[in-house]
Amino acid sequence: QEQLAESGGGSVQSGGSLTLSCAASGYKYSTYCMAWFRQAPGSEREGVAAFDSDGKTSYADSVKGRFTISVDNAKNTLYLQMNSLKPEDTATYYCAAVPGLSLSYTPAPWSPGLFEIWGQGTQVIVSS
């Protein structure tokens, strides 16, 4: 069974950094499009960053230049390096996966409905 498990969330002050991890089981990342979404209380889930099977990456405008998505195929793990964090980055962060999606044809913003496999989420709190 395909599963995703996030880790690495926590509390940090504004300007700080965190790295989120997402470990996959039951399938190989290399053939999937992987993404990070986030959802703040009272808000819709929004795409943050994505990485497709061709190695193409894409970011939401709100995080460009601050967040970096990467994949370690040997470990079957997705990462999100978050720098220069702001209070508005506070949210629960989810990783998600779908086979065959190309970012060349599916630019940001991505609908959560496009993704088939979801993790349980990890909370990030940024204080001012």
Q: What is the pLDDT of residues 54-104, one digit of tens each?
A: 999 999 999 999 999 999 988 989 999 999 999 999 999 999 999 989 998
* pLDDT at 31 (0 to 100): 84
DSSP 32: E
In 26-82, which ranges are E strands? Answer: 32-39, 46-51, 57-59, 67-72, 77-82
Model confidence at 30, pLDDT cuts 50, 70, 90, reads confident
Q: Do 63 and 35 touch, CB atoms closer than 8 A? A: no
Q: Which of 88, 69, 89, 65 is nearest to 79 (CA)?
A: 69
Model confidence at 29, pLDDT cuts 50, 70, 90, reads confident
